């Protein structure tokens, strides 16, 4: 079992190995022990220590930021729906939905450990488990839309989805693209990056759920925090993201795209907890992680969340 395949836990879960203590500890030694951080996992250390140059050398298909085209999608072979004799492409896309294959050409934002953009990589490149095992990281967002009754809008991902198909998840979860309107600043300045992710969130709510922009103005997405996590999907695919978490209140008209969404519904906090106990239901790993680490604490104060806002990245590897 690789580091990536280990089960997720709501909080960083590594611990310092027990050590033999001296017979008598000084006050200074006690204070130093108190300040000692938990030991990082091997995978966490790998990702944390990767430099920009090492990322570009290890993943030659990543386009350095200064050479990116600013286009939403990269053209090429089966990613544009064309037939391909390439055995590697067949391995990844055999039997998959053509619309979903096309979306795998979208250009995601490749990051370093500190959420600084390095370049662009296709959605396919960024979600291949082998690449993720070697540390490839990209930017994402997760939207939690609550109606006026403080019920959360859930979606069940479509069967056609290439990753995490048929799993229940939050309202919308996707990726800002490596385009000027969604990238933010090239140096990773947080406010600009938040604005780019808000633009992407509005775009994807329309694409997946048919929610028009008038129901979800960009400035209404309230940023709470960023989490950094990794999770396997199936044998070929996985996730490794710095995920921007947004809350928005709205009563939109939903006109779902059934190539993206199999089902959707509003739930109370109590109902969602019941769903988590139902062994017949499957949930995306990031959704359960966010709920158990944050959302259940936020829910009852959904109109007063400013005190929970954090500019730090919670590295949950």
- 108, 126, 173, 178: the catalytic one is 173
Six token digits for residue 135: 């540390």
In the chain, which residue ranges form alpha helices assigned H by DSSP? Answer: 27-35, 42-49, 52-58, 87-93, 98-103, 123-127, 129-133, 180-183, 190-209, 269-277, 285-290, 296-298
Report how far residue 165's alpha carbon sits from residue 119's, in angstroms, rounded to the nearest whole number. Answer: 28
Report how far residue 47's alpha carbon sits from residue 55's, in angstroms, rounded to the nearest whole number. Answer: 10
Q: Is 66 a catalytic residue?
A: no
- Match 């998840």 to its residue by tokens: 169
What is the per-residue DSSP string for 104-117? TTBEEEEE-TTS-E
Contacts of 13 (CB under 8 A, 6+ apart): none
Q: Do β-strands 63-64 and 138-146 pair in parallel, antiparallel, or remain unpaired?
A: unpaired
Report how far residue 44's alpha carbon sits from residue 313's, in angstroms, rounded to the nearest whole number. Answer: 13
Q: Do β-strands 107-111 and 117-122 pair in parallel, antiparallel, or remain unpaired?
A: antiparallel
If we measure between CA atoms, which residue out of 243, 225, 226 comes closest to residue 306? 225
If we measure between CA atoms, which residue out of 242, 247, 239 comes closest to residue 220? 247
- 182, 208, 239, 241: the catalytic one is 241
Q: Is 241 a catalytic residue?
A: yes
Contact yes or no for 219/118 (Cβ under 8 A): no
Report how far residue 35's alpha carbon sits from residue 2's, in angstroms, rounded to the nearest whole number. Answer: 30
SS3 212: coil
SS3 45: helix
Bridge partner residues of 261 (DSSP): 157
DSSP single-letter state for residue 292: I
- Residues annotated as catalytic are 173, 241
């Amino acid at each position: 079992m690789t580091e990536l395949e280990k089960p997720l836990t709501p909080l960083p879960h590594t611990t310092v190995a027990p050590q033999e203590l001296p017979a008598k500890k000084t006050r200074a030694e006690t204070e130093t022990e108190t300040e000692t951080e938990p030991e990082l996992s091997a995978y966490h250390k790998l990702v944390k220590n990767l430099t920009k140059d090492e990322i570009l050398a290890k993943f030659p298909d990543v386009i350095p930021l200064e050479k990116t085209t600013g286009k939403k999608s990269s053209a090429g072979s089966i990613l544009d729906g064309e037939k391909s004799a390439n055995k590697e492409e067949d391995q990844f896309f055999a039997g998959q939905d053509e619309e979903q294959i096309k979306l795998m050409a979208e250009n995601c934002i490749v990051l370093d450990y500190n959420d600084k953009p390095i370049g662009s990589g296709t959605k396919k490149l960024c979600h291949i488990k082998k690449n993720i095992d070697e540390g490839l990281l990209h930017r994402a967002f997760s939207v939690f839309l609550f109606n006026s009754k403080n019920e959360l809008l859930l979606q069940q991902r479509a069967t056609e989805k290439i990753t995490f198909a048929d799993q229940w998840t939050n309202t919308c979860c996707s990726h800002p693209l490596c385009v000027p309107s969604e990238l933010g600043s090239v140096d990773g300045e947080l406010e600009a990056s938040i604005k780019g992710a808000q633009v992407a969130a509005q775009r994807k709510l329309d694409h997946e759920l048919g929610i028009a922009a008038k129901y979800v103005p960009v400035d209404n997405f309230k940023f709470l925090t960023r989490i950094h996590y990794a999770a396997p999907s199936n044998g070929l695919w996985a996730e490794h993201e710095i995920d921007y978490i947004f809350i928005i209140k709205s009563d939109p008209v939903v006109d779902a795209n059934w190539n993206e969404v199999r089902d959707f519904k509003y739930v109370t906090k109590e109902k969602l907890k019941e769903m988590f106990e139902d062994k017949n239901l499957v949930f995306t790993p990031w959704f359960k992680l966010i709920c158990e680490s944050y959302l259940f604490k936020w829910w009852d104060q959904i109109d007063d969340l400013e005190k929970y806002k954090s500019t730090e990245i919670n590295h949950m590897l």
